[in-house]
Amino acid sequence: MISGTHSGVGKTSVTLAIMAGLTRAGLRVGAYKVGPDYIDPSYHTVATNRASHNLDEWMMGKDACQWLFEKTSQDCDIAVIEGVMGLFDGVSPTTDEGSSSALAKLLKTPVILVVDAGKMARSAAAMIKGYQTLDADIHICGVILNKVAGENHLKLLTEAVEAYNHIPVLGTLFKNEDIMIPERHLGLKTASENEELHDCLTRLEECCQKIDLEQIMIHAKRAQKDSLSVKPFNIIPEATLPQEPIRIAYAYDRAFQFYYQANLDFLKNCGAELIAFSPLEDTTLPENIHGFYFCGGFPEVYAKEIKENQDMHALIKQAIKDGIPTYAECGGLIYLAESVKSLDGKVFPMLGIIPGQIEMTKKLVNFGYCENEMLDDCFLGRKGEQFRGHEFHYSQWNGEGVAAIHRSIKKRKGQERDEGYCLNNVLASYVHCHFLSYPQRARHFLAQAQNFHQLQQRKDQVYA
């Protein structure tokens, strides 16, 4: 695991340098991200040429995390896990719940600590000592020093770390603005938006000359000796699989990208055939589809292009009017709303499927984990069902509370509100749901899609 002392320390740059270097060396690198973030995994995928998976112990639960890691790492030569925030930061100030440290213990993985050493020398050893002693069950096998000023600075830091911490400096990144990854209001820019990403990865690979990949491999091989005790995680009852594939059209382009890979895989394993389409650029829908899945992303950034694709607007609206099951999260909710108002006051029409306008703001409206309860029966769940999710958005929906379907609770903040919209065959919500946390949602969705498919077949027979 590549973890940091705190957010902004450079762990994504270090992780990408290691992933790219190992991949260039011909290894099959399994890529993982602690927590609910969508953007870092998109960079992992470019660096490794493999899908990256989120491991979120708070949202998914321990059994699901172990099961997913074991299942997806079997054909890898090495698994590299990027941490979240600082090593011990999670949902609680007094326990490790939801933190990188909790996942490191769960998966029995050694930790490489990334340190921003830009303005430190011997003090770096004191900082590292605190991370070594807070939890004796965490094995910090080495450090990587970031923002090092030069060779003399590196010599001072290395002598201090080796003298006081008794662990090796496994790598160094010298201060270099050229490898800074651009950011936007939801964090780093997505991989598809960063036109200079491949050049950035090349520069990061060059930085790998300062990172001891051989030693990292040795530590990884030692970790393999401690095999995981993975409990059976039977999430797909064989009897529930449909006899023929259920075709789900999912939005995927520059505006819609925030899917958990495990969610897509889960739908496939439950009998779905997934067909990607672009609400931005396509003018026709995939044929014979039985459900829509709209994820998060940046539809507000591409609002003008969305507005101009009236052919797609008309096709989606008609399909929803005809009863196709439709599930939308965050950016998907924005797309289905009546309109979106940008920061400069411009209003762009969206699909108008759900009531209300979306207004972009300069501050986070909702951020963090939430516990959710279904307020009523609907096609994606039953009243009283509970699940954990995550929110991260700068937009505000003025229709919130109208036909709300979830009660969203943030216990530590003492916040509770009714959230989401559901009517007939449409459910739209700001909450991102991980299907391994709430598999019923995926099953309900596919069951409804199957019902829609069978209804369409009967209609076709009547009119044949």
Is it the case that residue 193 has pLDDT exceeding 90? Answer: no
Report the distance separating Cα 162 and Cα 142, nearest Å.
10
Task: Give the residue from 299, 265, 280 showing the smallest Cα distance to 394.
Answer: 299
Q: Are strands 291-294 and 246-251 parallel, antiparallel or unpaired?
A: parallel
With contact defined as beta carbons under 8 Å apart, do 223 and 110 qualify? yes
| Residue boundaries of the structural domains of the chain | 2-224, 240-463
pLDDT, residue 224, reads 66
Condensed to tens digits (0 to 9), the pLDDT of residues 143-182 reads 999 999 999 999 999 999 999 999 999 999 888 755 666 5
CATH topology agreement for domains 2-224 and 240-463: yes
What is the mean predicted confidence (pLDDT) over 368-381? 92
Condensed to tens digits (0 to 9), the pLDDT of residues 384-436 reads 999 999 999 999 998 766 778 898 887 667 788 888 999 889 999 999 999 99
- Label residues 55-86 b or e (16+ Cβ within 10 Å = b): bbbbbbbeebbbbbbeebbeeebbbbbbbbbb
With contact defined as beta carbons under 8 Å apart, do 332 and 393 qualify? no
Condensed to tens digits (0 to 9), the pLDDT of residues 52-106 reads 999 999 999 999 999 999 999 999 999 999 999 999 999 999 999 999 999 999 9
pLDDT, residue 184, reads 46
Q: Bridge-partner residues for 407, per DSSP?
A: 373, 418
Instruction: Return the higher-pLDDT residue of 236 and 298.
Output: 298
**Percentage of residues of the chain with pLDDT beyond 90:** 75
Is it the case that residue 366 has pLDDT exceeding 70? Answer: yes
Is it the case that residue 295 has pLDDT exceeding 60? Answer: yes
Report the distance separating Cα 223 and Cα 217, nearest Å.
10
Least confident of 28-37, 201-210, 277-286: 201-210
> Domain 240-463, what fold?
Rossmann fold (3.40.50)
What is the mean predicted confidence (pLDDT) over 4-33? 94
Report the distance separating Cα 5 and Cα 438, nearest Å.
32
Task: Give the residue from 372, 377, 336, 376 showing the smallest Cα distance to 357.
Answer: 336
- At 240, the pLDDT band (50, 70, 90 cuts) reads low
Active-site positions?
Answer: 330
Write the CATH number of the domain with boundaries 2-224: 3.40.50.300
Condensed to tens digits (0 to 9), the pLDDT of residues 96-146 reads 999 999 999 999 999 999 999 999 999 999 999 999 999 999 999 999 999
Tokens found for residue 62:
């321990």
Is it the case that residue 364 has pLDDT exceeding 80? Answer: yes
pLDDT, residue 176, reads 72
- At 241, the pLDDT band (50, 70, 90 cuts) reads low
What is the mean predicted confidence (pLDDT) over 328-336? 97
What is the mean predicted confidence (pLDDT) over 441-464? 86
Is it the case that residue 355 has pLDDT exceeding 50? Answer: yes
Tokens found for residue 271:
């009998």
- At 449, the pLDDT band (50, 70, 90 cuts) reads very high
pLDDT, residue 139, reads 96
Model-level pTM? 0.92
Report the distance separating Cα 224 and Cα 76, nearest Å.
12
Least confident of 1-5, 98-102, 228-232, 356-360: 228-232
Is it the case that residue 225 has pLDDT exceeding 60? Answer: no
pLDDT, residue 186, reads 47
What is the mean predicted confidence (pLDDT) over 23-47? 95
Tokens found for residue 122:
């011997």
Residue 420: count of CB within 10 angstroms of its CB: 27
pLDDT, residue 195, reads 58
Q: Bridge-partner residues for 172, per DSSP?
A: 145
Q: Which residues contact 32 (CB under 8 A, 6 or more apart)?
A: 44, 52, 53, 54, 55, 69, 79, 80, 81, 82
Is it the case that residue 337 has pLDDT exceeding 50? Answer: yes
